[in-house]
Amino acid sequence: MKALVFHKFGGPEVLQYEEISEPVIGPDEILVRMKAIGLNYADVYRRKGNYHLAGNPPYIPGYEGAGVVEEVGSNVTGIRPGDRIGFADVPFANADLVAVPYEKAIPLPDGISFETASSIFLQGLTAHYLTRDSYPVKLGSTVLVHAAAGGVGQLLVQMAKLLGGRVIGLTSSDEKAKAARAAGADVVYLYSDDWKQKVLDATEGRGVDVVYESVGSTLMESFEATRIGGTVVFYGMAGGDPAPVDPRMLMDTSKTLTGGDLWNVLTNREERVKRSAELFGWIAEGQLKVAEPTVFALSEGGKAHELLESRKSTGKILLRP
């Protein structure tokens, strides 16, 4: 089979499209012929050597995708060849065939395409737990979303609106501000503005109920834009490491800092299937819109990585075998 691999760490140029051996599945695994593969920053970090990788090269990136079942292990029940499934956290996904553990296999409804599934799993499930678990958005909540035009950001905006919130978005350009408004943000400010003061003005000096903080370097400003007793949910640091937080500030303001990591939520198959089903339902009902992805052939994975790292993309980037 063909796969996108790298033999050494570096830039997109280290990626090669090569013939490698097909995976051999175990009794609790499913062999899936891939139809669409999601590209994520984690793939970039692994290619650069920022994340630990087990084994020896060639390394196969990729953790998210969807396809058709070709073969099932002897212990697998309820899934048969020909079924459509997807996954959010299975390694070696940048290949024609992937061995998927049964516990990580998520059935796809007929109305959900391979492309939609591969666009929604990691980012959609992240936005889902952030708005359902880290800080449950409810009717009347005032929500501040960093990087509101990004993949997770646009989904956060939509889910917060769906759950009854008022959403303020932050973006880096006028073009991205349009994308955030199109996703449903009530108002959008640019990072180049005095956005903290604008947020306070928009909330009559009170501050927002919750900030979904994915930039990192803006953490303290996020606290200043949060109301007394409000919450900052820290789930990323795309803009750099955050400053240390003084617990006395939290005590004095009754504010809460909480962290978020998807893998602490997707702890079993039931959670994966249940949460995905709610996402699929929202999509089917037209309540959650998934931006049209940018699709590259798997053989052009290097170009896809270049686009992702340029930060010029606003939707999901997919690879197609």
Question: What's the pLDDT score for residue 239?
Answer: 86
Domain 2-120+266-320 top-level CATH class: alpha beta
What local confidence, expressed as pLDDT, does residue 103 receive?
97
Token pair belonging to 286:
């037209």
Residue-by-residue pLDDT tens, the chain, 321 positions = 999 999 999 999 999 999 999 999 999 999 999 999 999 988 998 999 888 777 888 999 999 999 999 999 999 999 999 999 999 999 999 999 999 999 999 999 999 999 999 999 999 999 999 999 999 999 999 999 999 998 899 999 999 999 999 999 999 999 999 999 999 999 999 999 999 999 999 999 999 999 999 999 999 999 999 999 999 999 988 888 899 999 999 999 999 999 989 999 999 999 999 999 999 999 999 999 998 899 999 999 999 999 998 877 767 899 999
Domain residue spans in the chain?
A: 2-120+266-320, 139-259
DSSP category for residue 243: P
**Half-sphere exposure at residue 249, Cβ-oriented, CA atoms within 13 angstroms:** 13
State the pLDDT at residue 196: 97
* Pair of tokens at residue 247: 């617990």
Tokens of 129: 């737990």
- The whole-number pLDDT of residue 262 equals 92
Tokens encoding 231: 């919450």
Residue 55 pLDDT: 80
pTM of the model: 0.92
In this predicted structure, what is the pLDDT of residue 227? 98
Contact indicator for 23, 92 with CB cutoff of 8 Å = yes
Q: Which class is domain 139-259?
A: alpha beta
Specify burial of residue 118 (Cβ count, 10 A radius: 0-12, 13-18, 19+): buried
Q: Which of 133, 155, 139 lies closest to 231, judged by CA?
A: 133
Decide: residue 103, CB within 10 A, 0-12 exposed, 13-18 middle, 19+ buried: middle
